[in-house]
Every structure is written in C-alpha cells, then in structure tokens.
A and B are shown apart, each in its own frame.
Chain A
C-alpha cells in the first residue's frame, strides 16, 4: 500500500524522546530521565492512514507532539514532505504549520472558550491565506458546511455545541489550511458510540476529497482497524509490531498485539466467551506498564507469557511477518518459531 518513497508525507527515523526527571526530596537530587519514545521509525504515504495504537503512557501522543514540533526529540529525524522537522532552528516556518494540522482528543479543551467558531476556524485562514473580513467568514462558513455544520454556527461559542459537533469544528479548523498531514490524537475517544462513527465517516470522506495523510493515534485497536490502512502497535516507548490493518488484527505476531486484540470485548456474547478465555490465558500477573521503560530488553517482558532470558537482555530486531508487516519479538528471531508467524500458531500459552 505504500507508494514510492518520494510520495511519503511523513518519515520518522530512529526517533527517541526523553523527558527530564523530576526533582528529588533534596534540592540537588534529580530523578533519572524518563524514556518516553525509543528508536521509533515510521512512514505514511500520501492519502494513507497510519494507526498508532498503544495504552496510556506508551508514548504514542508524544510522537504526535514531536511531529507537530511541540517538543524536540533527543535523537532521530522527522521529515514531513520537504520539511526537516528535527532540523528547525528557532521558530518554525509558517509553511510547515500550513502543511501539518492536528485534531485533539478533548473536544472541550481544544477550542478556545472565549472565541466564536468563526474566529477559531478563521484563524488559520488569516495566518496562512491572509484572508480577512467577509472573505474569511465566507470560507469559514464553507468549511463548516464541509464538516456537516451550518453557516449560522459561525457566531456561536464552543460550549454551545455537543462533543461531536465540537470535534467537527476542530476538524474544520484543521482543514482550513488544506494540510498534507493531519495528526489525529484520539479524535473519537471522548465521544459516545453513536457520535464516534459519525466523526470517523466524516474523516474518511474528507480524506478521499483532500488525499491528506492521517496519523491516527488511538488506544482502541478495533476503531483503528476500521480507519487505517496500516497499524503500528506501541508498548511502553517502543513500536513492537507494524503491518497492514487486517493482517495485524487477524494474525497478530507480537504477544502484546495478541493480548490487545483479546482484550477488546465483543458485543457478540458467543465471540466474547472465546475471546475472554484467550485473554485470561494471555494475562500474566497484574502489572501494567509502570515505571520507566527499560533501555535494553523488551518492555513487555514482565507481562509476556512466552518470555525468555534473552527478552530482558536486548530489544529484538524487526523481522518480516507473514501478514506483510514487521515484528520486534525474540520469538521470531531466536525463538522456536521463525519468520513472523501469528502468535496464535506458536503453540500453547502460559504452559
């Protein structure tokens, strides 16, 4: 599904991000740096959607913020089109802000409560297209209609809208600059089910119209499967598996991906009975991803039913999977099964 290399809108190469540790009890004490993202490489082609999936604290949002250049990575490179994002010195060029736009999870907090919708959607038009007055209102009204709202909403304040409508406003603002890349940070997680699918349908329609690339960051693998061509699964600072959506979800190669899939409850009671049995079999102990991510070794080792000694010593190389992606798991490099076969076929679990 990926086009030729020059058609890539986003390229991330060996990205690592750390945050300074907090202060200790004594004034001179410093806690160790927090490893938020380690050695992540990703790319998205024009018109494609990449799903970045992981639990809270996995580092997925941090990657999104680095792509937007809200934070500077410790090492690695991020390229968006012709922009070398990691190479920006000082202020960010305005043309980059035009090329990359964002929609956040929280539809309440992401719109300035003291501005009317017309000004919120019109701000990028003023900055990038130099529009003002009636021309700006007119274009903002067009955008509102494009996302399924009405022109007369321009003079309302964000709090007068429901969650789903606010998310449409945020999408309209993002579309205003006709971006090449849209970072969608959990855009539907805060919405009710019935509204969720409305917003997803909208995003897909808009992508067909604009052929922008989407970086879709979410925790819900089922939603991501529906929205994305390709998926990258993150666990505690590392990408552990990438691949085509249906391939990953039907035949996960990494034990964490498998656990994640088994943890999505299905509304069909019969399906769910089987799935919850699988989930139980895959669950080891009660740990979550707490504390700092290990520098060497697999971060999932403590929760992995297949864990081996080597898993705590080194982080595995990426191996091609049968599903057409890549997996970073010692089961597939030095373990009993080679070649990135689905974990389900790797034999008994937790034995």
Chain B
C-alpha cells in the first residue's frame, strides 16, 4: 500500500532527474535534426517548433503537465506519438522480459534447491559450475550462439524477426523462444546461486531442528518449513533481476532484430531524441516499480512479520 503510493513520486523523480540530465548534452538537437547544410534561420525555426527556445523551467513544466495527462510527446524526427510507438513495441519486449523471468525462476529455483540439498556432492558441483558459466556469458553472445546453432544450423527456430512469420500468435511466440532463453540465462544462474545459499542458510535454523525433532519426514520439513523461508531472499532478488532483464532485453533484441523498445532506445540515445529517451526511462522504471509492488505482496505473504497488524 505505502509502496504503491511511494511509486508515483518515484516515477516523477526519475523523470525529472533524466530530464535535467539530458540538458547537459552540448549538441543542439535542432541542428542535428536538419543536418549540416541547414541555415541558422531554419535551425532557429526548428528550435522554436520543438519548444527548445523557451527557458528550461518552462520546458520542464510543459513536459510535466503532459506526462500527468499521459501524453509522452512526439518523436522529434518523425512526429509520431511516442505513446503509440511504445504501445506498438512494448508487448514484444514485455513478453520477452517476463518469458525470460519465468524461465529463470523455474530453472533457477529448481536447480538451486537441488544443489542445496546435495551440498558438497556431485549435483551441487554441477549446478555451481553451470551457474557460474551462466553468469559469465554475455547475453548477446549467448544470443549469437543460439541463433547460429539452433536456427542457422538446425533451423528449429527463426534467427531473425520477420513480420510475416509473426502474424499468428504461435509464430510470434515461436520467434521469441530463443531470445527468452538467451536473456534468461544469466538471471537463471543468479537465482540458482541465491536459492542454493538461502536454502543452505535456512537449513541451519533452529526451527528446522525443531521440525526434525517433531518427527516430520524430511520431505515435509523441506517443503513446509524450509522452502517458504528460503523463498524470501529469492523474491527480493527477482525484483532486481527484472530490472536487469529489461536492460538485457535491449541487447538481445538487437541480435534477433526484434522490434521492441530496446532498438527504439538505442536509436534515441544515438540521435538525442529527448522525448523518446524520457519515455524510455519512465516506462521501464514503471515496469520495474510495478513488478516490485507485486513482489512486495508476495514478500508479505511469505513473511508474516512484515504484515500489518
């Protein structure tokens, strides 16, 4: 509840921070927009058109009032509505991010707990080695490898995004399988490590000894008493990983040519397309904050101590 309320000022703070940050760039966007041959007059005209001739505070006020009305402005170069552009591109990026998160959670938690229960033995060593590999592979390189071996060599999955193939839902999802795996790899590795260590820590607790002393079967001790407490730090990590996955999506999209938010963002950074950069920051932050709110609820469910009353 209080997190939800705190999320709104946080969004504005982030937006404000980035708004003023971008002003540091010495390059004049109007000049960049019109190219090297543009006359000073036309540049000035363009500046006025974009509203850049006004004082910074007025620009900021304008931007703020627009944002409150869910108006994210227009692309300086194409004049398209930023909101529409994001609406078109967000679904594929979000599917990619949450698909990767799902893969990472399922495989990471499973492997991590397996490793903890077999601590010091072969399965533990295998998981430890695999997860340290997983954390070290750059996701875009993993993407290149996957694309080469699973699409160029055996043609199981498409290597490059094509608009015709992705018209059906099935084709769309099929095209996202490899990007999701490439993206989820390092998150899965990180979650596996966290699951292992938090499970091991929980198994040392007094209440596990109590549960054993009560004569509960080991499986019940693990399922009922250990798992739920071990999940608490994993939930915290999942929030951090969501943030990392959104960042990672930018690179994976670039390898597979996926028309998501990432390519939009990179392009905007290269061309200093301020409205897009601002929207990019705000939208990604919004997603992270929303995920964290959901995770907070899960956290409170797992840990009665933080529940009110």
Contact = CB atoms under 8 A, between A and B. Distances in A.
B41 interface: no
A25 B309 CA distance: 8
Contacts of B309: 25
A27 B308 contact: no
Contacts of B1: 25-26
A26 B5 CA distance: 10
Nearest to B6: A27
Interface string B193-205: 0000000000000
A330 B241 CA distance: 63
Contacts of A27: 2, 5-6
Interface in B54-106: none
Contacts of B308: 25
A199 B1 CA distance: 53
Prevailing SS type, chain A contact patch: loop
Contacts of B2: 25-27
Interface residues of A, number: 3
A25 to B, nearest CB: 4
Interface string A79-118: 0000000000000000000000000000000000000000
A8 B5 CA distance: 56
Contacts of B6: 27
Interface in A13-32: 25-27
A56 B243 CA distance: 44
Nearest to B308: A25
B175 to A, nearest CB: 44
A25 B6 CA distance: 13
A140 B309 CA distance: 53
A14 B98 CA distance: 62
A25 B300 CA distance: 13
Interface string B1-43: 1100110000000000000000000000000000000000000
A26 B4 CA distance: 11
A27 B3 CA distance: 9
B306 to A, nearest CB: 10
B15 to A, nearest CB: 21
A27 B1 CA distance: 9
A121 to B, nearest CB: 35
A283 to B, nearest CB: 27
Nearest to A24: B308
A25 B4 CA distance: 13
A27 B6 CA distance: 9
9 contacts: A25-B1, A25-B2, A25-B308, A25-B309, A26-B1, A26-B2, A27-B2, A27-B5, A27-B6
Given A25-B1, A25-B308, A25-B309, 6 more contacts: A25-B2, A26-B1, A26-B2, A27-B2, A27-B5, A27-B6
Interface of B: 1-2, 5-6, 308-309
Interface of A: 25-27
